């Protein structure tokens, strides 16, 4: 589980990256909106020039109209009544009756004031209309409402269709490039955010590794320094056993046994740190936990959830597994002031983690938010005596065998330690 400080750092990173890429996305949208408007302005300018040429030519006669249409790229031109009936028509692609339903449903909204009917993407044709009233100017056509222009004062509706394949291609290409650009920005956002979050994760791992390296060096040094006096103690005890009376032989044997046990323990700690995986064996986790609870404290409730299969088989080094579970249970009892009241151990199966989850819960003082980030530091402890070295080693053993360890605060006080063990398949 992330500590509160680390969680705040991650939230800040996510918010910052999101804000930056949101701004980039807005800029991309504005850029393509500008390009769309530019394409629309170009089309409008083309339409205005075509209207001007053809309308001027209309004053000179039919032959002049056809020449102007060819020069302006106009396909069809004509005058219709306000009811949509044709009066004078030139060219091709003309309507026998104007489709008035298109007027208010144009697919080129930018040209609503210019009354563009729309365009046919397959034929590459743009269709336009203008309302011709006696004495009306272009500004009138752009500002007077449609229902007024189409009233009794309007003599004709001027229709024109012209080639718009270039405009249609530009709009289509802009749509494709806009989609590509926004997709690239979205992908970069995900990749960049992933890299930053991974960097935070790797930085924390590096800190943990540095702590473990320091712990390993300290353990090797202590092992070496402890073994020397232990050897001397064992040797002196052996000499004393030769000359000491029978009544203290038993006491001398205790000294010898405890010295040898301390020597083995020192070697085991060094070995644990040097080789966290150990010698894996197939272990029934449920039975193993029950045996440890029986040794540590028989009164701790042990719950086996129905999601956990009866076998609950895992591959783990037995010595390291015992060290992990014993350490967490003992820590929980100590946090509970030596009492098991409110404590429980539950074994279940986590589908999300695809692992067996062993939860050890206590009703102790819990872990403060400021200490949550440092709780796995091997040299950090809130105890007057002892250290958190055992919890750090426990997580190291779990990681080495594909598992993990997390801490959660319990509702109404206490801590829940969850050990995840990779399921044997």
Per residue in 359-372, pLDDT (tens digit) is 999 888 777 766 66
Last residue of a domain, one of 132, 163, 194: 163
Is residue 337 in a domain?
yes
Residue located via tokens 């006491």:
251
* Position 113 pLDDT exceeds 50: no
Beta strand 404-409 with 74-80 is unpaired
Is residue 231 in a domain?
yes
Residues 130 and 18 in one domain: yes
Residues 132 and 54 in one domain: yes
What is the spatial distance between Cα 143 and Cα 158, in angstroms, rounded to a whole number? Answer: 17
Within 8 A by CB and 6+ apart from 138, the residues are none
Per residue in 205-261, pLDDT (tens digit) is 777 667 666 666 666 676 667 777 877 888 888 888 888 888 888 888 888 888 887
Q: Looking at 95-99, 261-265, 344-348, which range is the least confident one? A: 261-265
Is residue 208 in a domain?
yes
Residues 38 and 140 in one domain: yes
Other Cβ atoms within 10 Å of 288 Cβ, number: 18
130: region left, alpha or beta (phi > 0 left; psi from -120 to 50 alpha):
beta
* 228: containing domain: 203-274
Coil, helix or strand for 341? coil
The per-residue pLDDT for 108 is: 43
Higher pLDDT, 57 or 213: 57
Q: Tell me if 333 sits within 8 A of 340, measured CB to CB.
A: yes
What is the spatial distance between Cα 219 and Cα 302, in angstroms, rounded to a whole number? Answer: 34
Q: Supply φ then ψ for residue 254, to 5 degrees.
A: -60, -45
Is residue 187 in a domain?
no
The per-residue pLDDT for 55 is: 79
CATH label of the domain that carries residue 388: 3.30.565.10
Is residue 188 in a domain?
no
- Quick one: which H or E segment has residue 405? strand 404-409
Q: Which token pair is 45?
A: 């300018």
Residues 83 and 115 in one domain: yes
Residues 230 and 307 in one domain: no
When divided into structural domains, the chain yields a total of: 3
Beta strand 86-91 with 116-120 is unpaired
Residue located via tokens 């046919």:
120
Residues 98 and 36 in one domain: yes
The pTM of this model reads: 0.45
Instruction: Determine the length of the chain.
Output: 425
Supply the DSSP string of 137-204, one letter for each residue: -HHHHHHS-HHHHTSTT--EEEEEEEE-HHHHHHHHHHHHHHHHHHHHHHHHHHHHHHHHHHHHHHHH
Per residue in 65-88, pLDDT (tens digit) is 888 888 888 888 888 877 778 877
Q: Tell me if 349 sits within 8 A of 332, measured CB to CB.
A: no
The per-residue pLDDT for 114 is: 46
What is the spatial distance between Cα 219 and Cα 209, in angstroms, rounded to a whole number? Answer: 15
Segment 281-300 mean pLDDT: 87
Last residue of a domain, one of 251, 274, 297: 274
Residues 18 and 138 in one domain: yes
The per-residue pLDDT for 154 is: 55
Last residue of a domain, one of 274, 289, 323: 274
Other Cβ atoms within 10 Å of 135 Cβ, number: 6
Residues 71 and 24 in one domain: yes
What is the spatial distance between Cα 405 and Cα 421, in angstroms, rounded to a whole number? Answer: 9
Is residue 185 in a domain?
no
Other Cβ atoms within 10 Å of 399 Cβ, number: 16
* Position 419 pLDDT exceeds 90: yes
Residues 259 and 289 in one domain: no
């Amino acid at each position: 589980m992330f500590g509160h400080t680390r969680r705040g750092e991650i939230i800040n990173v996510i918010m910052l990256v999101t804000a930056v890429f949101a701004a980039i996305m807005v800029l991309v949208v504005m850029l393509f909106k500008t390009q769309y408007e530019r394409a629309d302005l170009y089309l409008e300018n083309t339409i205005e020039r075509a209207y001007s040429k053809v309308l001027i030519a209309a004053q000179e006669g039919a032959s002049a109209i056809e020449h102007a249409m060819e020069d302006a790229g106009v396909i069809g031109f004509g005058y219709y009544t306000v009811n949509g009936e044709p009066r004078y028509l030139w060219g091709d692609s003309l309507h026998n009756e104007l489709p008035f339903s298109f007027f208010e449903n144009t697919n080129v909204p930018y040209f609503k004031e210019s009354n563009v009917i729309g365009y046919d993407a397959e034929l590459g044709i743009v269709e336009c209309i203008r309302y011709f009233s006696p004495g009306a100017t272009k500004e009138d056509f752009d500002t007077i409402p449609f229902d007024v222009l189409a009233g009794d004062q309007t003599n004709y509706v001027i229709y024109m269709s012209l080639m718009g394949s270039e405009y249609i291609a530009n709009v289509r290409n802009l749509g494709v490039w806009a989609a590509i650009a926004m997709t690239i920005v979205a992908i970069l956002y995900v990749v960049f955010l992933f890299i930053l979050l991974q960097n935070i994760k790797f930085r924390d791992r590096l800190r943990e590794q540095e702590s473990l390296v320091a712990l390993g060096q300290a353990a090797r040094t202590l092992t070496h320094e402890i073994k020397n006096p232990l050897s001397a103690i064992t040797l002196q005890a052996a000499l004393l056993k030769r000359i000491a009376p029978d009544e203290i032989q038993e006491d001398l044997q205790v000294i010898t046994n405890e010295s040898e046990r301390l020597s083995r323990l020192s070697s085991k700690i060094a070995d644990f740190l040097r080789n966290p995986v150990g010698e894996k064996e197939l272990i029934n986790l449920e039975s193993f936990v029950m045996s440890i609870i029986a040794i540590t404290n028989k009164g701790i409730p042990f719950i086996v959830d129905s999601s956990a299969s009866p076998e609950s088989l895992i591959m783990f080094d037995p010595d390291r597994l015992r060290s992990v579970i014993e350490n967490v249970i003992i820590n929980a009892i100590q946090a509970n002031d030596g009492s098991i009241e409110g404590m429980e151990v539950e074994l279940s199966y986590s589908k999300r983690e695809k692992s067996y989850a062993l939860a050890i819960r206590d009703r102790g003082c819990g872990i403060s938010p400021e200490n949550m980030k440092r709780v796995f530091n091997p040299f950090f402890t809130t105890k007057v005596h002892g250290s958190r070295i055992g919890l750090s080693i426990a997580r190291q053993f779990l990681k080495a065998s594909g598992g993990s360890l997390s801490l959660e605060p319990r509702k109404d006080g206490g801590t829940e330690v969850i050990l995840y063990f990779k399921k044997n398949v």
